[in-house]
Structure 1
């Protein structure tokens, strides 16, 4: 029976291959930033709606979030479709591939949903790069009743259960007092100096950070003109750590550095959380192994579990989903030479023949993982029990 389901889903993905590749390429050609992915969300939800999915747009108060649902089975699958891009480098993280693969998996599973006793739901999740779209959707109930959730992310390598880092995305804003930089500098309170002190303090602190902790940042406002003492400055910092507990300790240390800048210069300051905290990935091991078997059957060559321990995939708000319900976030390899995510060369690779193949293989691997879970009585009971326990 499972073999029949797999053959059916393969046939469906092949039938829709042109539409899925066109979807990926179209999203890639029109990159949109967090919470402004209007065209991208419309492309994904529009295709699913045309194929019989019940679409709800603007869910959870987010204009570019949506759900597209098919079927009425008790086992509810949540396929996460990301589609936001990065400033300057566009789809250099390949979210166009993610969205198209989720769409392909949904279309494939639609054909067997009734026989499997599942409900297929694509969840359009905006603002992964910054903003924490999945965290907001989770907090506002969009994942309620979902028994298992999946997505697949392009990368230079194939990893099934790779680690990610917990993330805090913070903006610090200093306020001082302007004055003429030559005629009366003593009348000013220099917000630029406050930010410099904070950056130096963070740089010196790096030697003493715990293993797995790291800080990166950019200045977003440095002043208006060199002959004016800067009255206001700001910077955004990404704080990362192996887990949320370590992240909280890192936040306290960095806040002390922010405070040092204010104390040294007489400025006031505030810290604004740009995104909700991202948790580290804790993938469901059974689903991960089921996905591994599917990927290998499709001819792909994932890293071994031992090799995966040496790899980290940055940070993702999918980590919060994996802590709330059984979920996985594998990566799928594309041919990108020496490039890595967030480089121009990787963006180019995400609209290549290799990326097109990743869309189709990713769709099938997600579909086959779902079939494995739905047809295994013990796992089905486990997944349904987790939903009941959370309600």
Structure 2
């Protein structure tokens, strides 16, 4: 029966290529993906999915469900469809969203016979304020047995880890004055930000190798002859695991308070984006996916080293999850570039779409029909 997946895919192949290319040509930023979300939702409705939109107060989010007549595991595919400013789909989210919808549609054609439930989640704003975080906190994945998504890349990579991340903003307030005429009456907020950077640079030697702290000054004053009373810095603070990240964040905050004391400024600390937990790959599920991908894709699959941060990490904390990478047959491809976006609509991009949809659908099929596999997946998740 698994061979039927190919037959079902062939029926929707051209639709999926058209959807992915349409998303490429009409990119929308995070939480503004109104037309992108509508396109995906309407296609799922055409294939008899029951759809709920506007989850966790995010208008462009959705949950689409197709239930088989027989009971069985719930397979979740996660769709992303936000683009980058000035770059468009330089991270390939046009492919991610389409592959998730495609895998859901293809697998849904078999669940009436094999049982189970297929759910496709629309998760906005992965690049900035990932909706998976509040969705996980709201318990939207609690009835899911496994969750998966597939990310384009230069080559094929196994699902790996990601860095937990906090996005911290430091707002310092001082006192304006004439920088030459009465400097003694001023309190320089920019000095506080500079001391913040100096302090953070000083602790790098004493952080674990997996920790990352990097930031920018978003406001440092308006004129050189006016002592700036407002200055703001934004930092991403990352680490391999949430527990150690929390330690690093406390050190950074202590430095920030010290900078305020040194300069006589007032300090406010806030999160300018949602925090992400680290990705915990379920190896049993990952192995099942890699085995299926090899059936549809001739390129090698390599281990993936962690580097960035993913809101999929929060999903992996509550349900067995994977986040592998599908190759666009261009090993030197760099993410977040127009070259990356353009590669998604080439023949290589379309081939990645096809093999990705089939590999995810086949993995969902395996989880539904192989009780021993599902048991192994859940035992691993429980132990981790």
TM over 0.5: yes
Residue 66 (structure 2) aligns with: 70
Are 1:9 and 2:13 matched, yes or no? Answer: no
CA contact (8 A) 1:84 1:127 kept: yes
Aligned to 1:360, which of 330, 347, 354? 354
1:313 Cα shift?
4.5
Residue 195 (structure 1) aligns with: 193
Separation in 1 of the partners of 2:367 and 2:116?
10
1:384 Cα shift?
8.1
Tell me, what secondary structure is at the counterpart of 1:294? helix
Q: Residue 165 and residue 228 in structure 1: after superposition, are their counterparts in 2 closer, same or farther (change >3 A)?
A: same
Aligned to 1:55, which of 51, 69, 90? 51
Q: Residue 254 and residue 344 in structure 1: after superposition, are their counterparts in 2 closer, same or farther (change >3 A)?
A: farther
Residue 285 (structure 1) aligns with: 283
Bigger shift: 271-280 or 19-28? 271-280
Q: Residue 347 and residue 138 in structure 1: after superposition, are their counterparts in 2 closer, same or farther (change >3 A)?
A: same
1:135 Cα shift?
1.2
1:368 Cα shift?
0.5
Bigger shift: 127-136 or 330-339? 330-339
Counterparts of 1:224-239 in structure 2 under 5 Å? 224-239=222-237
Separation in 1 of the partners of 2:322 and 2:267?
39
Tell me, what secondary structure is at the counterpart of 2:119? strand
1:383 Cα shift?
6.5
Residue 348 (structure 1) aligns with: 342
Are 1:329 and 2:323 matched, yes or no? Answer: yes
Bigger shift: 231-240 or 360-369? 231-240
Counterparts of 1:1-391 in structure 2 under 5 Å? 4-5=1-2, 7-72=3-68, 73-304=71-302, 307-308=303-304, 311-336=305-330, 338-380=332-374
Bigger shift: 118-127 or 16-25? 16-25
1:295 Cα shift?
0.9
Separation in 2 of the partners of 1:333 and 1:163?
18
Separation in 1 of the partners of 2:291 and 2:379?
24
Query: What is the TM-score normalised by the length of structure 2?
Result: 0.93
CA contact (8 A) 1:292 1:302 kept: no
Q: Residue 246 and residue 386 in structure 1: after superposition, are their counterparts in 2 closer, same or farther (change >3 A)?
A: closer
Separation in 2 of the partners of 1:104 and 1:176?
55
Q: Residue by residue, what CA displacement relative to the aligned partner does 1:258-313 show, whole Å, maximum 9, x if unpaired? A: 22321221111111123333222111111111101011111243434xx44xx224
Q: Residue 81 and residue 216 in structure 1: after superposition, are their counterparts in 2 closer, same or farther (change >3 A)?
A: same
Unaligned runs of 5+ residues in structure 1 are none
Q: Residue by residue, what CA displacement relative to the aligned partner does 1:160-195 show, whole Å, maximum 9, x if unpaired? A: 222211111111111112222332232221111111
Q: Residue 29 and residue 96 in structure 1: after superposition, are their counterparts in 2 closer, same or farther (change >3 A)?
A: same
Bigger shift: 248-257 or 69-78? 69-78
Q: Residue 153 and residue 185 in structure 1: after superposition, are their counterparts in 2 closer, same or farther (change >3 A)?
A: same
Q: Residue by residue, what CA displacement relative to the aligned partner does 1:318-338 show, whole Å, maximum 9, x if unpaired? A: 111112111111111113452
1:381 Cα shift?
5.1
CA contact (8 A) 1:335 1:349 kept: no
Tell me, what secondary structure is at the counterpart of 2:112? helix
Tell me, what secondary structure is at the counterpart of 2:228? coil
CA contact (8 A) 1:37 1:64 kept: yes
Query: What is the TM-score normalised by the length of structure 1?
Result: 0.91
Q: Residue 117 and residue 221 in structure 1: after superposition, are their counterparts in 2 closer, same or farther (change >3 A)?
A: same
Q: What RMSD in Å do the two structures reach over aligned CA positions?
A: 2.1
Separation in 2 of the partners of 1:69 and 1:296?
28
Tell me, what secondary structure is at the counterpart of 1:115? helix
